[in-house]
Chains A and B, each alone.
Chain A
């Protein structure tokens, strides 16, 4: 049973079914209308229901066929560092400006790499921030604040 739960298809089915369930939940209150005059809820409900139904098929297929031999190997460190670096950028960009936000993004993203190399990270962060300030703001004239207002 555990092997079956680890099958990538079961996880994928759960993901799709969750998306379908969210879709149904969020569009349930919208008018469905008729085929001639479709309401705003008609197609979203249809698509969400199909998602749930076909996700069930995907999961059932694993039960019938047995677990696949391929279980993906997960190493969550890199993806966690990437998500954290984008979060840092999103939090900092408005209050701190481009320079601070890119330095934070670059420094945090380097946590994805083992072993952590502090000097190289500092060089990448400073170099990247300088590059983006010059290219995006000075050269391409994007109206982004460089420093805290």
Chain B
């Protein structure tokens, strides 16, 4: 763990970067745009980020990533607003917020629920920022010991966790991972220069772009499914009442915020963790320890405070594996890897030494974004509430337009638009067949890195696959991955997993 002065100087460096007028502006715009899109029913953080990626291309790498992080937090907060007011979660991490958040709305306490979500998230964000600053440097030191075998093992662990956390059938999640890996193989093989799966299309020699895959699976496919469900109409949103929570609310909420922050921070760091797991675990914990569990689902403020703090804390700490190892732990982080690569940065342990301004700037801007979100959201919450009533038939063409222009503008490539369309259709079919896109995206991003590391590890080990197991660190990680997979397949855990995801 780093010394206190180190942390202070690191965060000082970061704040110096994050608090330049331009970067504050990017952070503000990101948080605002993120909330604006995230609040629209049915559009979660992954969709929002995929849609807004192209807006950040023209900024400097630091500015672009700060804006993206702002978009992410904003979208997450926007999703909470929609969950509380309209009972439509934008993504799985806000499903639990719907339970008590919307119950509070029905009781005319929507204002208190929204304020609790905002303040709890802010508190969690502050704590998580410090935790990231605390744990990132020692982790990067640890990573120096990693060889190709360990990298491969760790990425495999990430994929296994994605399987474990996916909703529904484990077998389907594994198949989605394989499909993602296959898509990642498209392009020129780095070692031999051979063309793989390009089907003679010259533009595919550099591989399938990240943007068409992300936009197709998270933008287009989501819209197609939502459109069937909503049939163009507008959901009914409740009006907002008195914003400030009562004293009783406060007394009940703050311990829940503390526990949520703890649970979320911890689960966010784990591979495959992140916001979803954090919010589910925090909600379950609150219900377990409550004196009167029957209040939950009927507008218990702890049921809003804990998962909201947890998902924000986890959203932040899930940057730790990304920034230190270069390994995304969930779909949103996979989108961040794509964005960093587009800006010419390869995420990994080198970033902290080679580009300290970027590294600490992003971390400091997490805190700035959280502060800005409170400032933006408390006064503007009435506007957000009105936005949740935009009819879907006006909304979806605009999202399509964003995706099409975004896909085209990155490389002036008509092929990218066609690919976006294709992956949108494929993603729609898979969603209808109950196959979640998150494992696929993760595998698509990790695949090329895994192949490279596996090849290198086997070359060093003279072709003996046992090298992956006999190196202690990589062996331990692989054992953990195997254990995780076996445990998931046990009938007891399977039942538990199904009930957890069917939420209460």
Which A residues contact B (CB, under 8 angstroms)? 8-9, 11-12, 15-16, 19-20, 23, 26-27, 30-31, 34-41, 43-44, 47-48, 50-51, 54-55, 57-58, 61, 70, 72, 74-75, 78-79, 82-83, 85-87, 89-90, 93-94, 98, 101-102, 105-106, 109-110, 112-114, 117, 120, 124, 128, 132, 136, 140-144
Is B408 within 8 A of A93, CB to CB? yes
Tell me, yes or no, whether B290 is within 8 Å of chain A by CB: no
Residues in chain B near residue A20, CB distance under 8 A: 178, 182
CB distance from B213 to the nearest CB of A (A): 14
Q: Across the interface, which residues of B come within 8 angstroms of A83, CB to CB? A: 421, 424-425
Contact A140 B401 (CB under 8 A): no
The listed residue (A72, A85, A98) touching B405 by CB distance below 8 A is A98
The interface-forming segment of B327-335, B372-380, B432-440, B481-489 is: B432-440
B134 at the interface (CB under 8 A from A): no
B124 within 8 Å of A (CB atoms): no
In the complex, are the beta carbons of A51 and B182 less than 8 A apart? yes
Q: Chain B: which residue is nearest A74 at the CB level?
A: B432
A74-B432, A78-B227 known; A89-B178 Cβ under 8 A: no
Cα–Cα, bound, A35→B466 (Å):
11
Which residue of A15, A27, A74, A142 contacts B196 across the interface (Cβ within 8 Å)? A27
A78 to B465, CA, bound (A): 49
Contacting pair B458 A36 (CB below 8 A): yes
CB-contact partner of A35 in B420, B435, B458, under 8 A = B458
Chain A's closest residue to B198 (CB) is A26
B247: interface (CB < 8 Å): no
What is the CA–CA distance of A90 and B403 in the complex, to the nearest angstrom? 12
Does B58 contact A140, Cβ atoms closer than 8 Å? yes
8 A Cβ contacts from B158-176 to A: 169, 171-172, 174-175
Measured between beta carbons, the chain A residues less than 8 angstroms from B400 are: 82, 85-86, 105-106, 109
B172 touches A12 (CB 8 A): yes
B354 at the interface (CB under 8 A from A): no
Q: Which residues does chain B contribute within 8 Å of A124, judged by CB atoms?
A: 394, 397-398
List which B427-475 residues lie within 8 A (CB) of chain A. 428-430, 432-435, 451, 454-455, 458-459, 462-465
Collect the chain B residues with CB atoms within 8 Å of residue A11's CB: 433
Given the known interface contacts A34-B463, A47-B181, A93-B414, the answer about A27 and B197 at a Cβ–Cβ threshold of 8 Å is yes
Q: Report the separation of the CA atoms of residues A143 and B192 in the bound assembly, to the nearest whole angstrom.
A: 36
CA A71 to CA B458, docked complex, whole Å: 45
Q: Is B296 part of the contact surface with A, judged by Cβ < 8 Å?
A: no
Shortest CB distance B208–A (Å): 13
Residue in chain B with minimal CB distance to A12? B433
B127 to A: closest C-beta gap in Å:
36
Chief secondary structure at chain B's binding surface: helix
Q: Chain A at the B interface: mostly helix, strand, loop or mixed?
A: helix
The docked-state distance in angstroms from the alpha carbon of A104 to that of B9 is 54
9 cross-chain CB contacts under 8 A: A8-B432, A11-B433, A27-B185, A35-B465, A39-B194, A51-B178, A51-B179, A75-B228, A78-B227
Residues of A within 8 A of B194 (CB): 30-31, 39-41
Partner of A58, one of B172, B403, B418: B172
Expressed in whole angstroms, the Cα–Cα distance for A101 and B171 within the complex equals 41
Is there contact, CB below 8 Å, between A110 and B393? yes
Please state if B458 and A38 are interface contacts (CB–CB under 8 Å): yes
Known: A16-B175, A43-B185, A106-B397. A38 touches B196 (CB 8 A): no
